[in-house]
Amino acid sequence: DLTVAHLNATTGSVMLLDQQDRVVAYILQQEDLSRERAASIVGSILTDGFAGWVLKNGRGDVIHDTRLDERWLVYANQPYDVRSVISTPLRRRQRIIGVLTLVQDEPNQFKAADLPLLEAIAGQAAIALENAQLFRQTEQERIKLSAIINGTQDAVLVTNSANETLLLNPAAREILGLKREPAPNQPLIELTENQELLKILSPNTPSSGEIPLPDGRTMWANVVEIPEMGQVTVLQDISAFKALDQLKRDFVTAFTHDLRTPLATVKGYIELVRMDGPITTRQEEDLDGMTRAANLMKSLIEDLLELSRLERLEELKVEDVDFESIVLSSIGTLRPLASSKEIDLIMDRADDSLFIQGNAVLLIRAVSNLVDNAIKYTPSGGRVSINLARNDHDQAVVSVTDNGPGLSAKDLPRVFEKFYRARSEVDDIPGTGLGLAIVKTIAEQHGGQVWVESQPEKGSTFTLAIPIVENGI
């Protein structure tokens, strides 16, 4: 209105364009038009009218008399006679975002000298219009995000660096037992006594973990740091998965225990057959095969029980342990097996002492599994190298390298899965497919990792890394 009055115009119109040059908003001189009629007029103006000419040429201009200028488009039922027109593009950051047009019902009311003023006004209007569009888009995204967060079944907590609440969705309020939205920036410690939740939101703690609730449910928390703001925590109910996992563990435990008695009976009958009298060479071979199968079944049962026990372990009993003594103990136990295949076991010791916090029995099992695995897949007369060192991440690292058949790229991601055995070309090598899964479980329980590097026909290197404890005894 101020622009219209300042330039002595009768009225004016504005058309706004999006990034694809489509009209997204408009204000016409005639206000009593239907939406369909207005859209039709706007389309015609941008195609054949003066505003379309301004857009196409990217500059403003003046029509002194519409009756003498073919650029002016007259549409049906126009409520008043337009005789003078001045129009200019709305620009923002080198892009035309619309057209501003003023009209007069008398000819020769605008001059070319009026264009700089209209362009200056258009520049300010473009800034205001863009800000309004950005605000509207931001508000739409805020409403959309709010609907998603409030509608999700997962609990979402947003806290600042001081662990003060910035946002809690309804699911989070239900978990915390809140009937209403907490006060802005209220400390989380005032809203919950759940120490596991408070712990996982504390600095220098793991970014994910289980959170038990008083009602018996178990939540899985994932914490994502947001720079200069705080953190977003998502809590997912995993109670059903925990129940299924417990059911699986109970089944495995019962199943393996129930297998022990019949397996012992089978092995006993094999020995009775041997003792009962003379047997042929073929019968001897058959009995040897049955014994090997029974022993493999026994190993499978023992590994299943061990893995089940490890997975149920809630608290690890640890002490300061010299990692080198763990490795030496494992090598000593397996040296006879290596000698039977004429395999050299070579150890490269660390330059300094490597003390870790761990369970010696479990760590010996983990290292022994790696060395045993290497011996199994190394051909007779081969070599297994065990390297002990400290890496750049303050971890005690043992690497076991064999010169066996190696692993293909598709096998590498799966070698630590339960029951997965790669190397189909060596199916005659006995194994349960659980040894490496046990190593992975033990490593994770000690805050460490295990990984493998390998290529077909070039052997494999399995590496176990456990955090070092400074000033160990």
CATH number of the domain within which 59 lies: 3.30.450.40
Task: Answer whether residue 425 is part of any domain.
Answer: yes
Q: Residue 418 pLDDT > 90, yes or no? A: no
Residue 425's pLDDT band, with cuts at 50, 70 and 90, is very low
Task: Answer whether residue 201 is part of any domain.
Answer: yes
Q: Distance between CA 139 and CA 146 in Å, rounded?
A: 10
Task: Answer whether residue 473 is part of any domain.
Answer: no
Domain boundary among 312, 343, 362: 312
Instruction: Check residue 1 and give its pLDDT.
Output: 56
Instruction: Check residue 97 and give its pLDDT.
Output: 85
- Which of 463, 459, 455 has the alpha carbon at shortest distance from 410? 455
DSSP-derived letter for residue 198 is H
**Amino acid present at 430:** P
**What is the arithmetic mean of pLDDT over 93-103?**
87
Strand stretches in 45-134, DSSP E? 61-63, 84-92, 95-104
Same domain? For 330 and 461 the reply is yes
Same domain? For 304 and 325 the reply is no
Most confident of 196-205, 228-237, 363-372: 363-372
Same domain? For 295 and 356 the reply is no
Q: Residue 427 pLDDT > 70, yes or no? A: no
Q: Distance between CA 384 and CA 330 in Å, rounded?
A: 13
Q: Residue 30 pLDDT > 60, yes or no? A: no
Write out pLDDT tens, residues 351-393.
Answer: 778 899 888 888 999 999 999 999 988 999 999 999 999 988 8
Instruction: Check residue 9 and give its pLDDT.
Output: 84
Domain coverage including residue 256 = 241-312
Same domain? For 245 and 345 the reply is no
Task: Answer whether residue 31 is part of any domain.
Answer: yes
> Residue holding tokens 């362009």?
119
Instruction: Check residue 230 and give its pLDDT.
Output: 86
Same domain? For 308 and 186 the reply is no
Task: Answer whether residue 207 is part of any domain.
Answer: yes
Same domain? For 361 and 434 the reply is yes
Instruction: Check residue 473 and give its pLDDT.
Output: 46
Instruction: Check residue 313 and give its pLDDT.
Output: 65
Write out pLDDT tens, residues 126-138.
Answer: 888 888 878 888 8
Same domain? For 138 and 162 the reply is no
Domain boundary among 312, 341, 358: 312
Supply the CATH number for residue 305's domain.
1.10.287
Residue 152's pLDDT band, with cuts at 50, 70 and 90, is confident
Instruction: Check residue 25 and give its pLDDT.
Output: 59
**Amino acid present at 41:** I
Task: Answer whether residue 408 is part of any domain.
Answer: yes
Determine the 3-state secondary structure of 4 from DSSP: helix
Question: Using an 8 Å Cβ cutoff, are 343 and 382 in contact?
Answer: yes
Q: Residue 429 pLDDT > 80, yes or no? A: no
Same domain? For 7 and 134 the reply is yes
Worst-scoring range by mean pLDDT, 10-14, 215-219, 253-257, 343-347?
A: 253-257
Question: Using an 8 Å Cβ cutoff, are 464 and 450 in contact?
Answer: yes
**DSSP letters spanning 188-243:** GGGT---HHHHHHTSTTS-SEEEEE-TTS-EEEEEEEEETTTEEEEEEEE-HHHHH
Backbone φ and ψ for 252, nearest 5 degrees, come out as -60, -45
- Counting Cα atoms < 13 Å in the Cβ hemisphere of 410 gives 3
Residue 37's pLDDT band, with cuts at 50, 70 and 90, is low
Per the structure, how many domains does the chain have? 4
Task: Answer whether residue 472 is part of any domain.
Answer: no
Same domain? For 336 and 456 the reply is yes
Residue 79's pLDDT band, with cuts at 50, 70 and 90, is low
Instruction: Please indicate, yes or no, whether the overall pTM of this predicted structure exceeds 0.75.
Output: no
Instruction: Check residue 402 and give its pLDDT.
Output: 92
Task: Answer whether residue 265 is part of any domain.
Answer: yes
Write out pLDDT tens, residues 259-301.
Answer: 777 878 888 888 888 888 788 888 888 888 888 778 777 777 7
Write out pLDDT tens, residues 317-359.
Answer: 888 999 999 999 999 989 998 999 999 999 988 777 889 988 8
Same domain? For 326 and 422 the reply is yes
Same domain? For 189 and 255 the reply is no
Supply the CATH number for residue 227's domain.
3.30.450.20
Average pLDDT over all residues of the chain: 83
Instruction: Check residue 38 and give its pLDDT.
Output: 67
Domain boundary among 312, 345, 362: 312
Residue 77's pLDDT band, with cuts at 50, 70 and 90, is low
Same domain? For 191 and 143 the reply is no
Q: Residue 314 pLDDT > 70, yes or no? A: no
> Residue holding tokens 């369970």?
359
Instruction: Check residue 189 and give its pLDDT.
Output: 86
